[in-house]
């Protein structure tokens, strides 16, 4: 049995997640994101947690496979817990607005505008929720 990843994650991959290609190691993007999420929560006192379902790599991979993730940033948009209902991949502009958050009225307005122009209702709801949370 493999050891837990950062004392939490169960690496139940049914395939090799790292391969050597042109003399460099390349990690599966699903595995890299899952491992980074766990590290950010459990290798230091971040205050964030991960839902029990995502303790399993294969469960996280199943969720991520249907996300538009390439070239995008992974966020837990309500804070607190990483879970399927609380996470999304967002483009860099959205990520930077969230990161700037309360520190910039301009960024808050930009985030509101991004929410208004979102490509779908789910993304729009997520962005408005972030905007409301940051205004508090």
Residue-wise pLDDT for 48-60, tens only, equals 899 999 999 999 9
3 state SS of 94:
helix
Tell me the pTM: 0.75
Sign of the C-alpha dihedral computed for residues 70, 46, 94 and 77 taken in this order: positive
pLDDT at 17: 92
Mean pLDDT of 101-111: 61
CA 7 to CA 21: how far, in whole Å? 29
* Residue 102: exposure state from Cβ atoms within 10 A (0-12, 13-18, ≥19): exposed
Longest dimension (CA), the chain: 51
Quick: pLDDT tens for 14-71.
999 999 888 889 999 999 999 999 998 887 777 889 999 999 999 999 999 999 899 8
- Both tokens of 121, joined, read 């209702």
What residue spans define the domains of the chain?
Answer: 1-87, 91-136
- How confident is residue 101, by pLDDT bands cut at 50, 70 and 90? low
């Amino acid at each position: 049995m493999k050891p837990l990843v950062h004392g939490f994650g169960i690496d139940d991959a049914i395939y090799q997640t790292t391969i050597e290609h042109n003399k460099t190691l390349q990690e599966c993007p699903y595995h890299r994101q899952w491992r980074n999420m766990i590290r950010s929560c459990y290798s230091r006192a971040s205050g964030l947690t991960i839902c029990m379902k995502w303790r399993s790599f294969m469960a996280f991979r199943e969720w991520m496979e249907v996300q538009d993730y390439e070239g995008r940033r992974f966020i837990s948009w309500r804070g607190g817990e990483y879970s399927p209902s609380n996470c999304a991949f967002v483009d860099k502009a959205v990520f930077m607005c969230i990161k700037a958050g309360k520190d910039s009225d301009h960024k808050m307005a930009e985030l509101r505008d991004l929410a208004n122009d979102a490509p779908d209702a789910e993304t729009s709801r997520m962005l408005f929720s972030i905007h409301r949370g940051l205004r508090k």
